[in-house]
Every structure is written in structure tokens, then in C-alpha cells.
Homo-oligomer: A and B are copies of this chain.
Amino acid sequence: MGLTRKEQAARSRQKLLDAACELIRKNGYDATSISDITQACGMSPGNFYNYFKSKEDLILAIEREPYDSFFDELEKISDQATINQLCNYIKYYVDIAVNKFGVGYNRQWYAQHMRPREDLEKPTKLEITINECRQILTHGVQSGELAHNTPVEDLSEYIAFELHGMNICHIMSEGTFDAMAWTDKYCAYVENVMLKPYFVH
């Protein structure tokens, strides 16, 4: 039925984004050609460049998207108990990594972000994960759920490192690692062991 031009364009762009994600996830970045992507959308190759400046640009667009929404996610859960926030965050992270990105895409992601960096000022992707954890824990301390002496800094690092380590395990296992089961156990561990000493009551 009647789609406006803008809607049509947005839909095409999203189709490309989804197809690209899917293909890169399956085959990896280098093994996915622009033609593969447009073909999967039933488009001509040239049309790709109406939406993305280059193949490189596509990756940036894909990457920006779901990780950006972490912050939105944090917003949505900001009124929950700290431990719930944290567990939801962890589950959300794993879900994105495993279900949305998958092994192929994550491989590319790490390859890219482990390259030598020019701009040492910008926070690394790992620091961003740490920041997000810290944000939740800090909020927990401020709200009185966690003790003042909670080593927020250290715990944030531990969790962030753990998530990335798990991600790598997932990649190396070619996706056979059961990330979802792990997540449940790890959340329980965070609650019952890691944060245990710091809960107020």
C-alpha cells in the first residue's frame, strides 16, 4: 500500500542493514560483498550507495545501532533494583552479542577494535562496557542498595572483562558455547557472590 518516499527509503536502508548484519554474522565481513547484501534485498548493487557512503560506512552504521540502544535500555530499567538492572544489562548484552551479532560479526568486531589505535583519547569499546556497568553500580550505591565501600571501579571491570571473555569464548567455540545458560548462572553468581558482601540488608 501507499508508502511515502521517505518511508520507502527508510525501509530499504533497514533492509540493507539487516541483510548485512545477517550475512556478516554468517560469513564474516570480508566474505560478504556488497552484491551479496543487495541481492539478499532484491536490489541492484548501485542502490547500496544511496544509503551508505562505502562498505566501511556500513559497518559503522551496524555497530552504532544496537550498542547505542544500550543507553536507552538503561533508561528503561533505571527504576528497578540495582541487581535487576545489572542482570538485565548482562542478559541484554549477551543477547545482542549472541543472537543479533553472532560469531561472524563479533569476529569482525574484535578484529577491528583490537587494531592499533590512533586516537588514544576516545574510550575503547571495552571502556564503554565498563562505564555502563559503573553507571549501574554507582546508582546502586547512591540509592543506598549497595554499601558505600563497594569497590565500584573494580567490580565494573570484572563484569565487563567477563562479558568480553565470554564473548570470545563464544566466538572460539564457533557458537557452540551455551551463552544463555552461562548468563543465568553468571547473574546468579553476581547476585549471590560478587555483590553479596556489599548489599545493605
Cα–Cα, bound, A187→B179 (Å):
25
Are A182 and B162 within 8 A (Cβ)? Answer: no
The reply to whether the CB of A164 lies closer than 8 angstroms to some CB of chain B is yes
Q: Are B124 and A189 in contact (CB under 8 A)?
A: no
| CB neighbours of A120 from chain B (8 A) | 174, 176
Query: Chain A's interface: helix, strand, loop or mixed, by majority?
Result: helix
* Complexed CA–CA distance, A139 and B172 (Å): 27
A36 CB-CB contact with B under 8 Å: no
A182→B157 contact, CB < 8 A: yes
* Contact indicator B126/A168 (Cβ below 8 Å): yes
**Smallest CB separation, A5 vs chain B (Å):** 11
Of residues 158 to 174 in A, which have CB atoms within 8 Å of B's CB atoms?
158, 160-166, 168-169, 171-174
Give which listed residue, B124, B172, B176, contacts A125 with CB less than 8 A.
Answer: B172
Count of residues in A whose CB is under 8 Å from the partner chain: 43
- Contact check, B154 vs A110: say whether CB atoms are below 8 A apart: no
Closest B residue by C-beta to A117:
B174
Chain B residues, Cβ within 8 Å of A117? 172, 174
Who on chain B is nearest to A31 by CB? Answer: B30
Interface residues of A in 8-23 (CB under 8 A from B): none
The 7 A-B residue pairs whose C-beta atoms are closest, nearest first, are A161-B165, A165-B165, A30-B30, A124-B172, A164-B165, A126-B169, A161-B166
- Hey, which bits of chain A sit against chain B, CB under 8 A? 26, 28-30, 107, 110-111, 113-117, 120, 124-127, 151, 154, 157-158, 160-166, 168-169, 171-174, 176, 182, 185-186, 189, 193-194, 196-197
